[in-house]
Amino acid sequence: LRNRTDGQWEQVQPQAVIDANMRNFIIYGIEGLLMTLTNLPIVLSVLRYKALHDQKEFIIVAGLAFADGFNGFAFLVAAIGRINQLLNGDAFVLKSRWHCGTTVWNICWTFANNLAGLMLLVVSIDRLLAVSFPIQYFTFTKRYACILVGSAFTYICIPATVSFVLSYQYQDPEFPAYCLIGMGMHNGYYEYFVMFHLVTSFGSVLLYGPIIFMLKRTLRRAVGSREVVKIARLKKVTYTLGIHTCFTFLFNMVPDLLILYSGIPSSSQTPFYMMLNVNAMVNILIYMFRFKEMRNGLKALIMCRRKLPATTVRVHSIQISQRTWSLSTYFSSKRSSVVTGPE
């Protein structure tokens, strides 16, 4: 440590450490920008176009995209702030835990990081309800989705407030001013913070086993159902969010476990922190390829259209669905007459 002329204490670091931090913060900034740019259009499209925000599935997708985009914004702000500190020579000045906890990027992270994990769990819970009770689920309106997403957002505010209250008692300078997220939290709360994100991410992935099982059972029971179109949409949405869950496993759970339990030095963990954000950046690609409505919404948003183009209903598709139902009913009655015989 050395005492600066302005009276502040500062860590003395070799140039190699400063250069390594500069590289890491530039990488974080690029990732944060990509996360923000790939998730913000999803949120804006759902908010802007009635055809999208009238559908409960898209409201929940927008909630997840907002959490990931907010997390990316925190990365972007942190990168800008920390790079500025390095350039001004202030990055290693000692600051208090309270000061670190109230930097713009750590305020954002305190809310966004765990919100992203919780929204992953909310998506899986929604899919479990959809495949377990499809008939009842079809009657749910967008109010159900707003309550589900709003509950997640409200819950996150409670522990985040607790974090700020706990860190307020630490006013003595003890951490460098670039302020990693753990430097602004009470040690006990930071353990909760890390484990909450890990457990919710794990839970979202583990729930998809029962979800796929229940979906297959629902599809078998739906043979001959009049809700052919709704069942087909249920299947498509569930498989699409299942793809997202696979990315969560590969690029969220695995890096998290390696960071926590591999014993790799923190100075060598940057690639794993980079991997943590890949699943958030592929959201827009998954939704564009799988949902025509979302594709049209993003296109209309880019072209500054007020409304989405009218969706054309394919009459032959409806006729085929009705014919499928009629044939299924016919063959079911034939099988019944073979087993029971003529009355």
Which DSSP string corresponds to 54-74? TSHHHHHHHHHHHHHHHHHHH
Give dist(CA 224, CA 115) in Å, integer. Answer: 40
Ordered per-residue pLDDT tens for the chain, 343 residues: 888 888 889 999 999 999 999 998 998 899 899 999 999 999 999 999 998 999 999 999 999 999 999 999 999 999 999 999 999 999 999 999 999 999 999 999 999 999 999 999 999 999 999 999 988 999 999 999 999 999 999 999 999 999 999 999 999 999 999 999 999 999 999 999 989 988 998 899 899 889 999 998 888 887 655 677 888 888 889 988 888 888 877 777 777 777 777 777 665 666 777 777 777 788 788 888 888 888 899 999 989 888 887 653 343 333 334 444 443 444 444 444 433 443 3
Give dist(CA 107, CA 160) in Å, integer. Answer: 9
Distances (CA, A) of 146 to 57, 68, 153, 204: 10, 18, 10, 19
139, HSE (Cβ side, Cα atoms, 13 Å): 3
Helix (H, G, I), strand (E, B) or coil at 171: coil
Q: Which two tokens stand for residue 241?
A: 């969010």
CA 3 to chain centre: 44
CA 248 to chain centre: 9
Q: Are 62 and 47 in contact (CB under 8 A)?
A: yes
Tracing tokens 């179109």 back to the chain, one arrives at 229
Give dist(CA 159, CA 341) in Å, integer. Answer: 66
pTM of the complete model beyond 0.85: no
Q: Are 142 and 55 in contact (CB under 8 A)?
A: yes
